Amino acid sequence: MARVCDVCGKGPQMGNRIQTRGKAKYLGGVGTKVTGITRRQFRPNLQKVRTALPGGGTKTQKICVQCIRSGAIRKSVQQKPFKLPN
């Protein structure tokens, strides 16, 4: 499926977009009022990442940033590290 993390299964969630009007009380106004509530979609922050498979191959996956930062996946090495000749 599109817009779903391949590791944790995180997908889009529905929420509200709240529109306010007016000046806040602490700024000298009479307070803010809610003038409209519409539905919206919160989408996960998905990135295309080349991951290393346990068997020794690589695969491109869509993974959310929380999984990348937590270390849930292992990125494939793009280029071998530089070594000095003996």
Residue-level pLDDT at 13: 97
- Mention the CATH class of domain 13-70: mainly beta
Question: Are the C-beta atoms of 4 and 11 separated by less than 8 Å?
Answer: yes
Residue-level pLDDT at 1: 65
Residue-level pLDDT at 54: 87
Q: What's the rounded Cα separation, in Å, for the pair 6 and 63?
A: 6
Low-confidence ranges of the chain (pLDDT < 70): 1
Question: Are the C-beta atoms of 7 and 73 separated by less than 8 Å?
Answer: yes
Q: What's the rounded Cα separation, in Å, for the pair 54 and 9?
A: 20
Domain borders along the chain are 13-70
Eight-class DSSP state of 73: S
pTM of this prediction exceeds 0.75: no
